[in-house]
Amino acid sequence: MNESPGSIRDYIRPKKLQPTVFWRIAEDIPRPLNTALVITSIGAPLLLWWLVTTFGNIDPKFLPSPAKVMEAFGRLWSTRELLKDTVASLWRVGVGFILAAAFSIPIGVLMGSFASIRALLEPLFGLMRYMPAPAFIPLLILYLGIGEEPKITLIFIGVFFFNSLMVMDTVKFVSKDLIEATYILGGDRKQALLQVIFPHVLPGIIDACRINLAAAWQLVIVSELIAATEGLGRRISVAGRFLRTDEIFVGLIVIGVIGLSFDLFFQYLLRVSCKWTTQKR
Partner 1 sequence: MYLQITNLNKDFQTKNGTLVVLKDINMTIKEGEFICAVGASGSGKSTLLRQIAGLDKPTSGELRIDGELITGPGPDRGMVFQHYTLYPWMNVQENTEFGLKLQGVPKKVRREQASYYLSVVGLANFAKSLPKELSGGMKQRAAIARALASEPKVLLMDEPFGALDIHTKESMHEFMLDLWKRTKITIFMITHDVEEAVFLSNRIYALGARPGTVRKEITIKLPDRTHSVKRHSIFHDYRDELMELLRKHGQEAVAVAA
∠ CA 259-265-266 to the nearest 5 degrees? 95
Q: Taking phi first (over 0 means left), then psi (-120 to 50 degrees means alpha), and beta for anything else, what does residue 104 get?
A: alpha
What one-letter code names the amino acid at 59?
A: D
Which of 5, 19, 56, 186 is the binder for partner 1 (CB under 8 A)? 186
DSSP line for 29-94: --HHHHHHHHHHHHHHHHHHHHHHHHHS---TTTS--HHHHHHHHHHHHHTTHHHHHHHHHHHHHH
CB of 109 to partner 1, least distance (A): 16
Decide if residue 180 touches partner 1 (CB under 8 A). Answer: yes
CB of 217 to partner 1, least distance (A): 30
- Spatial CB neighbours of 223, under 8 Å, sequence gap ≥ 6: 92, 137, 150, 151, 154, 155, 233
Decide if residue 48 touches partner 1 (CB under 8 A). Answer: no
What one-letter code names the amino acid at 64?
A: P
Binding part of the chain for partner 1, among 105-113, 132-140, 183-191, 260-268 by CB under 8 A, reads 183-191
Q: Report 139-178 residues binding partner 1 (CB under 8 A).
A: 175, 177-178
CB of 23 to partner 1, least distance (A): 30
Compare residues 47 and 178 and give the one whose CB is closer to partner 1.
Answer: 178
Decide if residue 42 touches partner 1 (CB under 8 A). Answer: no
Decide if residue 185 touches partner 1 (CB under 8 A). Answer: yes
# binding residues, partner 1 (CB under 8 A): 22
Asked if residue 103 lies in contact with residue 160, where contact means CB atoms within 8 angstroms, the answer is yes
Which of 103, 148, 191, 238 is the binder for partner 1 (CB under 8 A)? 191
Decide if residue 245 touches partner 1 (CB under 8 A). Answer: no
Within the chain, strands assigned E span none
**Within its chain, how far is the Cα of 210 from the centroid?**
5
Which of 60, 74, 199, 256 is the binder for partner 1 (CB under 8 A)? 199
Please give the residue ranges that form the binding site for partner 1 (CB under 8 A).
175, 177-178, 180-188, 191, 195-196, 199-200, 274-277, 279
